[in-house]
Structure 1
């Protein structure tokens, strides 16, 4: 069977299916059966759990050892030399995760860095991966954690565009980066209630690209604001967010709660950038105000969802859902 460019495999029909084909209410194309062959989510990452939502790294990652973190966005790394040669000189690497990461960035821990596309950049490397402190029981595999806080948004955007996230079946992506109230949220989704055609500008002419026409009556469309949170802290399979006090994250929850209380729709999706995760909870011991805001959001009707990732030096794949909730 020949794969067509841009298409994905369906495990039920044994055929290739277009990711842009409109889905039915259950998230599957009309007339087709829902895929049921994937095993349940497990902490060890079942091979069948892959979603096909994958972001590769632009270049080959170079191995190294973490040395120090002079500030939030800068690390010093000792690069590995070619086999049989001594370690190279220490280099500076940009860190795309401003979180505390104190349990991950420990001197001597193995890391992977990527060369900057611009050779004249002040930091010639970017720190992409760090080895998990919790080694797998499987000796044939390495456990890596992604340290790029923008990567979950890229994974979710890909999943939304291709209709691969069952949590949002029936919703379509309108745009990313939407301002509501005093905050900017990651994604605006919409779904049709009635049929018909409408210029998307009628939904909100300030926020949407002009000229896009979609099905649905503007007065009969629901909108949903989606905020994505990157998670790296894990304790014995329990992923915790945040790893430091976050006033911005608390404000997001409070504003999403107000939107739902006024009759709107909102969701928070926590994405753990590692595989050794059973569930995701608010880190009440670190940020009790965030934990209280999350509990109030759930009570108001904000959807709180979780996913985890499979990470290796080639890229990051979004895996299936995991439970998420208050601390």
Structure 2
């Protein structure tokens, strides 16, 4: 995935009202940019952070610019636009770059499913095997204090994320594949885990989902200012075990 037109850069002044950011451009002027990330954005949104933003030619948009990438003090690149996670996952799966999810005949996006009124991010279908329900989550939280590359999800309490885990468990119980695909969009993360210190209920529910046969995949594309390239998997650590890179884990 490439950014067209190329991203423009500036320094973050402030993020406010969740969806708005003020960016100081190199000529000293200030630009208000839309922020699609509703999370805490810990370590991504400190004033003075170097940021890159895209520009839309859609005349119906109130704010034509969107915050895409931040650079951490250590030089790591972080894609903060959570909408990109689904787009990148879609492209990688269609290209066959995420091997455990390759080879399905059809891929559909935002399909209604479940008993809690959800939409699955990606539905992979094939007449020869069970359908595969893929829920995509964007990972941008790095534990800078540990200095060991540990990333976490979520970065804030997520009621919606818990609902998605319940829906995935129900799909698995009904005989389908159910996959939680973490798209790791922080170049400094080398492994990840559930953020039990932020949302202990989500962490417990995730352990239950793994026990019920929901598969966990952590894929880290290469983040660049120009776009994203295929890269590879990183391991996921739970309280009880480490899930190897790219494995399709269930406990059945």
The answer, yes or no, to whether TM exceeds 0.5 is: yes
State the secondary structure of the residue aligned to 1:69: strand
Q: Could you list the structure 1 runs, at least 4 aligned residues long, displaced by more than 4 angstroms after superposition.
A: none
Structure 2 distance, partners of 1:224, 1:118, is: 34
How big is the alpha-carbon RMSD for the aligned residues of Structure 1 and Structure 2?
A: 1.8
Q: Is the 8 A contact 2:42 2:155 kept in 1?
A: no
2:184 counterpart residue number: 272
Structure 1 distance, partners of 2:125, 2:50, is: 43
Is structure 2 residue 35 aligned with structure 1 residue 95? yes
Which of 102, 124, 127 is 2:67 aligned to?
Answer: 127
Aligned pair in 2 of structure 1 residues 147, 107: CA closer, same or farther (>3 Å)? same
Structure 2: give runs of 5+ residues left out of the alignment. Answer: 240-252
Q: CA deviation at 1:228?
A: 0.6
Kindly report which structure 2 residues correspond to 1:130-145, keeping only aligned pairs within 5 A, or say none.
130-135=70-75, 143-145=76-78
Give the count of matched residue pairs.
Answer: 233
Larger radius of gyration: 1
Aligned pair in 2 of structure 1 residues 173, 274: CA closer, same or farther (>3 Å)? farther
Structure 1 distance, partners of 2:105, 2:193, is: 27
Q: CA deviation at 1:192?
A: 4.4
Query: 1:192-217, CA deviations, whole angstroms, 9 ceiling, x for partnerless residues?
Result: 43xxxxxxxxxxxxxxxxxxxxxxxx
1:109 counterpart residue number: 49
Kindly report which structure 2 residues correspond to 1:140-155, keeping only aligned pairs within 5 A, or say none.
143-155=76-88
Structure 1: give runs of 5+ residues left out of the alignment. Answer: 1-54, 82-87, 136-142, 194-220
State the secondary structure of the residue aligned to 1:285: coil
Kindly report which structure 2 residues correspond to 1:136-175, keeping only aligned pairs within 5 A, or say none.
143-175=76-108
1:222 counterpart residue number: 130
Aligned pair in 2 of structure 1 residues 127, 174: CA closer, same or farther (>3 Å)? closer
Aligned pair in 2 of structure 1 residues 240, 163: CA closer, same or farther (>3 Å)? same
Structure 2 distance, partners of 1:252, 1:286, is: 18
Aligned pair in 2 of structure 1 residues 75, 287: CA closer, same or farther (>3 Å)? same
Structure 1 distance, partners of 2:60, 2:135, is: 34
State the secondary structure of the residue aligned to 1:280: strand
Q: Is the 8 A contact 1:270 1:324 kept in 2?
A: no
